Amino acid sequence: MAGVKSEDGADDTALFTTEGHTGVITLNRPRALNALTHPMVLRIAEALTAWERDPAVVQVLIRGAGERGLCAGGDIRAIHDDAKAGGDASEGFWRDEYRLNARIARYPKPYVALMDGIVMGGGVGLSAHGGVRVVTERSRVAMPETGIGFVPDVGGTHLLARAPGELGTHLALTGAAVGAADALLCGLADHFVPAARLPELTAELAGAPAHEVLPRFAQPPAPGELAAWRDRIDRCYAADTVEEIVDRLRAEDDPAAKEAAETIMAKSPTSLKVTLAALRRARALGSLERVLEQEFRVSCHALRTPDLVEGVRAQVVDKDRNPRWSPPAPADVTDADVERFFAPLGEARELRLR
């Protein structure tokens, strides 16, 4: 497969081909679960610009190399190192990444995302804003940021705020990964196609538009998990504070609710409270662009907090799975602490989307 070449002539981490009438993006870091880097973001944006202007390209498809997933998210090791050093590389990455997320949502040609395998964080941003989102029995879709001392971004708070009832709040606070049926229920995907049929689907998309091809491949997924306890989720997560949500979950006569409470309590207390506030504000903001602008502020402020460095250290660098959060409990995080994440960055630094 031909691809964009780096200066030394080797294939790069994102490959771009035209197959019939379809422009195909292949994220090509399979050993890193196709984790997204800044150069990949820039090259994807360049390809979308070229294909938007090319009348021979009628639609775009994005997929991941290998069989483990589309994309596990941004390169959080790089973000960890940048935060630890007090740098600003992550801010530049997020600025371009969030612009790309907004671009995908408004792309004038069908944008087909094959959300096979692991699709998390930045991978959700590359796929779930598209017009045609395909999941398989291998899909595991998640916004797990609270577990690394961060807050859902890439338009994730916009997507989760629009999920039915309080399902999005549940996914945001717990960081839980969902399968195909639950991704469809939460509005994160549109179609289920068995993984074994993806090569055939991709081949047919080369010769015909997605709206003609997909009805021949889409089918009902196996039952999910969230629908069965939707009432409990709506009742518990409608509370105004993280503490009250946890109390309500613990009071339920349901092992799944109690497990969710303990999962939440293992996350960064600051991230939990900021995430809840971001979700509630996202509902009021409405448009994806306004939410991405808010997320940019939150992300930039999070870069300067101890929990992001500590969370990535515990989960990815040292892998001891024993983060020492600061503050250590939700009750110790004040309203003022939360409000600082939403403070203006100054006109020169703000993200401004049309």
Query: Letter for the amino acid at 158?
Result: H
Query: Of these residues, 74, 149, 155, 156, which one is catalytic?
Result: 74
What digits encode the pLDDT tens for the residues 231-276? 999 999 999 999 999 999 999 999 999 999 999 999 999 999 999 9
Query: Of these residues, 145, 166, 190, 307, which one is catalytic?
Result: 145
* Confidence band, pLDDT 50/70/90 cuts, at residue 354: confident
Q: Residue 306 pLDDT > 90, yes or no?
A: yes
- For the question of residue 74 being annotated catalytic, the response is yes
What digits encode the pLDDT tens for the residues 197-242? 999 999 999 999 999 999 999 999 999 999 999 999 999 999 999 9
Tell me what percent of the chain is helix, strand and coil, each rounded to the nearest 5: 50, 10, 35
C-beta neighbour count of 145 within 10 angstroms: 28
- For the question of residue 87 being annotated catalytic, the response is no
- For the question of residue 11 being annotated catalytic, the response is no
- For the question of residue 122 being annotated catalytic, the response is yes
Query: Of these residues, 97, 116, 153, 182, which one is catalytic?
Result: 153
For 69, the token pair is 């997933």
What residues contact residue 18 under an 8 Å CB cut-off, 6+ apart? 24, 56, 57
Query: Of these residues, 73, 117, 121, 122, which one is catalytic?
Result: 122
193: DSSP letter: -
In the chain, DSSP finds a helix count (H) and a strand count (E) of 16, 9
Distance of alpha carbon 329 from alpha carbon 293, whole angstroms? 28
Closest C-alpha to 281, from 270, 272, 291, 289: 291
What digits encode the pLDDT tens for the residues 32-45? 999 999 999 999 99
CA angle 323, 245, 161 (to 5 degrees): 90
- pTM as predicted: 0.95
CA distances from 260 to 99, 233, 251, 305, 322 (A): 33, 10, 12, 26, 18
